[in-house]
Amino acid sequence: MSKILIVDDSLFMRMLLKNVLHELGYETVVEATNGLEALSKFEDEKPDVVTLDITMPEMDGITALEKIISMNPEAKVIMVTAMGQQALLIRAVSMGASDFIVKPFSKDRVREALKKALAG
């Protein structure tokens, strides 16, 4: 079973995504509230997939993505973003993100992004 690291500064968004992941059958979910915490959890937990919010305090998702990819070039990272951040998404995908989901996300879109990340 795949281990997923959810990185978002919003408790509500983490809970929402965690619930969707559990509905999809993913049981092992680790959470981080910002990019700095994400790096430490990524190193300790070795997740199969990371969902990474773009806008966070301490360290934003783009910087965290860059550091995660430098720690493990094979890392599977799905960016999570609000509407209107297309330029940042394009940059994230060019840096190595597997896919992205836009808030508010649907269960089908999360399933599709995870399938793509895990297959790639």
3-state helix, strand, coil in the chain (%, to 5): 50, 20, 30
The arithmetic mean of pLDDT across residues 36-56, rounded, is 96
Question: Is the model's pLDDT at 96 over the cut of 80?
Answer: yes
Q: How far apart are CA 67 and CA 84, in angstroms?
A: 24
Q: What is the pTM of this model?
A: 0.94
Domain boundaries, position 68: 3-119
CATH number at residue 57: 3.40.50.2300
Q: At CA 74, angle to CA 60 and CA 82, rounded to 5?
A: 30
The arithmetic mean of pLDDT across residues 72-101, rounded, is 91
Token readout for 55 is: 């806008």
Number of domains comprising the chain: 1
Under 8 Å between Cβ of 99 and 113: yes
Sorting pLDDT into bands at 50, 70 and 90, what band is 97? very high
Residue 83: its pLDDT value, please?
75
The arithmetic mean of pLDDT across residues 48-76, rounded, is 95
CA dihedral 100, 102, 105, 109 (to 10 degrees): -40
The arithmetic mean of pLDDT across residues 105-113, rounded, is 94
pLDDT in tens, 69-82: 999 999 999 999 88
Question: Is the model's pLDDT at 99 over the cut of 80?
Answer: yes
